[in-house]
Amino acid sequence: MDAIKQWAVTCCFAALAAGIANIAIPKGNMEKVCRFAVSLFFMCCVLTPLFSLKGVSLGAAVSSAASMDNSALQKEIQNEKLTAAKENIADQIRSAFVKYGVTPVSVTVNAQTDKSGAIAVIGAQVTVSRSDAAKIDSAAAGAKQELGIDISTRSQ
Protein backbone atom coordinates (compact mmCIF):
# COMPACT_ATOMS: atom_id res chain seq x y z
CA MET A 1 0.00 0.00 0.00
CA ASP A 2 2.93 2.34 0.73
CA ALA A 3 4.26 1.81 -2.79
CA ILE A 4 0.96 3.00 -4.24
CA LYS A 5 0.96 6.07 -1.99
CA GLN A 6 4.51 6.90 -3.03
CA TRP A 7 3.55 6.51 -6.68
CA ALA A 8 0.56 8.85 -6.23
CA VAL A 9 2.74 11.47 -4.50
CA THR A 10 5.35 11.16 -7.27
CA CYS A 11 2.64 11.69 -9.91
CA CYS A 12 1.39 14.79 -8.10
CA PHE A 13 4.86 16.32 -7.81
CA ALA A 14 5.64 15.42 -11.43
CA ALA A 15 2.42 17.10 -12.56
CA LEU A 16 3.29 20.18 -10.52
CA ALA A 17 6.82 20.30 -11.95
CA ALA A 18 5.51 19.77 -15.50
CA GLY A 19 2.97 22.55 -15.03
CA ILE A 20 5.62 24.97 -13.78
CA ALA A 21 7.94 23.94 -16.61
CA ASN A 22 5.16 24.51 -19.18
CA ILE A 23 4.66 28.03 -17.81
CA ALA A 24 8.41 28.75 -17.99
CA ILE A 25 8.88 27.40 -21.53
CA PRO A 26 10.06 30.15 -23.81
CA LYS A 27 7.96 30.99 -26.85
CA GLY A 28 9.54 30.45 -30.20
CA ASN A 29 11.45 27.76 -32.07
CA MET A 30 12.22 25.62 -29.02
CA GLU A 31 8.66 25.59 -27.61
CA LYS A 32 7.63 22.28 -29.21
CA VAL A 33 10.85 20.55 -28.17
CA CYS A 34 10.53 21.79 -24.58
CA ARG A 35 6.86 20.74 -24.35
CA PHE A 36 7.84 17.30 -25.66
CA ALA A 37 10.63 17.06 -23.05
CA VAL A 38 8.23 18.09 -20.25
CA SER A 39 5.63 15.57 -21.43
CA LEU A 40 8.29 12.85 -21.62
CA PHE A 41 9.46 13.73 -18.10
CA PHE A 42 5.91 13.50 -16.73
CA MET A 43 5.23 10.22 -18.53
CA CYS A 44 8.48 8.73 -17.18
CA CYS A 45 7.58 9.80 -13.64
CA VAL A 46 4.17 8.13 -13.97
CA LEU A 47 5.36 4.92 -15.64
CA THR A 48 8.66 4.26 -13.84
CA PRO A 49 7.06 2.90 -10.64
CA LEU A 50 4.92 0.55 -12.73
CA PHE A 51 8.06 -1.19 -13.99
CA SER A 52 9.07 -2.00 -10.42
CA LEU A 53 5.76 -3.43 -9.17
CA LYS A 54 7.54 -6.58 -8.05
CA GLY A 55 7.42 -5.20 -4.51
CA VAL A 56 3.67 -4.60 -4.61
CA SER A 57 1.73 -7.75 -3.90
CA LEU A 58 -2.00 -8.05 -4.24
CA GLY A 59 -1.73 -11.75 -3.43
CA ALA A 60 -2.29 -11.27 0.31
CA ALA A 61 -5.53 -9.39 -0.21
CA VAL A 62 -6.74 -11.82 -2.84
CA SER A 63 -5.79 -14.93 -0.84
CA SER A 64 -7.53 -13.68 2.32
CA ALA A 65 -10.71 -12.97 0.36
CA ALA A 66 -10.40 -16.34 -1.34
CA SER A 67 -9.98 -18.15 1.97
CA MET A 68 -13.11 -16.46 3.34
CA ASP A 69 -15.10 -17.58 0.31
CA ASN A 70 -13.43 -20.99 0.27
CA SER A 71 -15.24 -22.34 3.33
CA ALA A 72 -18.62 -21.23 2.00
CA LEU A 73 -17.75 -22.73 -1.37
CA GLN A 74 -16.72 -26.02 0.24
CA LYS A 75 -20.03 -26.19 2.12
CA GLU A 76 -21.96 -25.52 -1.08
CA ILE A 77 -20.00 -28.23 -2.90
CA GLN A 78 -20.71 -30.71 -0.08
CA ASN A 79 -24.43 -29.88 -0.22
CA GLU A 80 -24.50 -30.32 -4.00
CA LYS A 81 -22.68 -33.65 -3.75
CA LEU A 82 -25.10 -34.86 -1.10
CA THR A 83 -28.12 -33.80 -3.16
CA ALA A 84 -26.74 -35.49 -6.27
CA ALA A 85 -26.01 -38.68 -4.32
CA LYS A 86 -29.54 -38.72 -2.88
CA GLU A 87 -31.05 -38.29 -6.35
CA ASN A 88 -28.86 -41.05 -7.78
CA ILE A 89 -29.78 -43.47 -5.00
CA ALA A 90 -33.46 -42.60 -5.37
CA ASP A 91 -33.22 -43.41 -9.09
CA GLN A 92 -31.58 -46.76 -8.29
CA ILE A 93 -34.32 -47.57 -5.78
CA ARG A 94 -37.02 -46.69 -8.34
CA SER A 95 -35.33 -48.97 -10.89
CA ALA A 96 -35.10 -51.81 -8.38
CA PHE A 97 -38.78 -51.48 -7.47
CA VAL A 98 -39.80 -51.37 -11.14
CA LYS A 99 -37.99 -54.71 -11.65
CA TYR A 100 -40.42 -56.21 -9.15
CA GLY A 101 -43.45 -54.64 -10.82
CA VAL A 102 -43.93 -51.79 -8.36
CA THR A 103 -43.89 -48.14 -9.44
CA PRO A 104 -43.00 -45.86 -6.51
CA VAL A 105 -45.00 -42.67 -6.06
CA SER A 106 -42.14 -41.05 -4.15
CA VAL A 107 -38.71 -42.01 -2.86
CA THR A 108 -37.01 -40.12 -0.03
CA VAL A 109 -33.39 -40.94 0.74
CA ASN A 110 -31.95 -40.19 4.17
CA ALA A 111 -28.19 -39.53 3.87
CA GLN A 112 -25.60 -37.31 5.48
CA THR A 113 -21.93 -36.37 5.14
CA ASP A 114 -19.32 -36.78 7.83
CA LYS A 115 -16.38 -34.47 8.58
CA SER A 116 -14.19 -36.09 5.94
CA GLY A 117 -16.85 -35.51 3.28
CA ALA A 118 -17.92 -39.14 2.95
CA ILE A 119 -21.61 -39.70 2.26
CA ALA A 120 -23.42 -42.24 4.43
CA VAL A 121 -26.84 -43.52 3.38
CA ILE A 122 -28.95 -44.12 6.48
CA GLY A 123 -32.05 -45.41 4.74
CA ALA A 124 -34.88 -44.64 2.37
CA GLN A 125 -38.63 -44.20 2.49
CA VAL A 126 -40.64 -45.45 -0.49
CA THR A 127 -44.29 -44.61 -0.99
CA VAL A 128 -46.35 -46.68 -3.44
CA SER A 129 -49.94 -46.59 -4.57
CA ARG A 130 -52.55 -48.88 -2.98
CA SER A 131 -52.71 -50.96 -6.14
CA ASP A 132 -49.07 -52.03 -5.62
CA ALA A 133 -49.48 -52.65 -1.87
CA ALA A 134 -49.57 -56.43 -2.31
CA LYS A 135 -46.14 -56.48 -3.99
CA ILE A 136 -44.51 -53.89 -1.76
CA ASP A 137 -42.81 -56.30 0.67
CA SER A 138 -41.16 -58.42 -2.00
CA ALA A 139 -40.03 -55.31 -3.91
CA ALA A 140 -38.55 -53.76 -0.77
CA ALA A 141 -36.74 -56.97 0.13
CA GLY A 142 -35.35 -57.30 -3.40
CA ALA A 143 -34.23 -53.66 -3.49
CA LYS A 144 -32.59 -54.01 -0.07
CA GLN A 145 -30.72 -57.10 -1.21
CA GLU A 146 -29.69 -55.46 -4.48
CA LEU A 147 -28.66 -52.07 -3.07
CA GLY A 148 -27.83 -52.83 0.56
CA ILE A 149 -30.01 -49.98 1.83
CA ASP A 150 -32.62 -50.19 4.58
CA ILE A 151 -35.91 -49.32 2.86
CA SER A 152 -39.10 -48.59 4.69
CA THR A 153 -42.31 -48.64 2.70
CA ARG A 154 -45.82 -47.33 2.93
CA SER A 155 -48.80 -47.31 0.66
CA GLN A 156 -50.88 -44.29 -0.18
Q: What is the pLDDT of residue 65?
A: 54
pLDDT tens for the chain, residues 1 to 156: 677 788 788 888 888 888 888 888 888 888 888 888 888 888 887 777 666 665 555 555 555 555 656 777 788 888 888 999 999 999 999 999 999 999 999 999 999 888 888 888 899 999 999 888 888 888 999 999 988 999 999 888
Q: How many CB atoms lie within 10 A of CB 45?
A: 18
Domain residues for 150? 77-155
Strand, helix or coil at 115? coil
Q: What is the DSSP letter of 52?
A: T
Look at the chain and report how many structural domains it folds into: 2
Mark whether 86 and 45 lie in a shared domain: no
Strand, helix or coil at 25? coil
Domain assignment present for residue 120? The answer is yes
Domain assignment present for residue 37? The answer is yes
Distance in Å from the first CA to the final CA of the chain: 67
Strand pairing category for 119-128 and 104-113: antiparallel
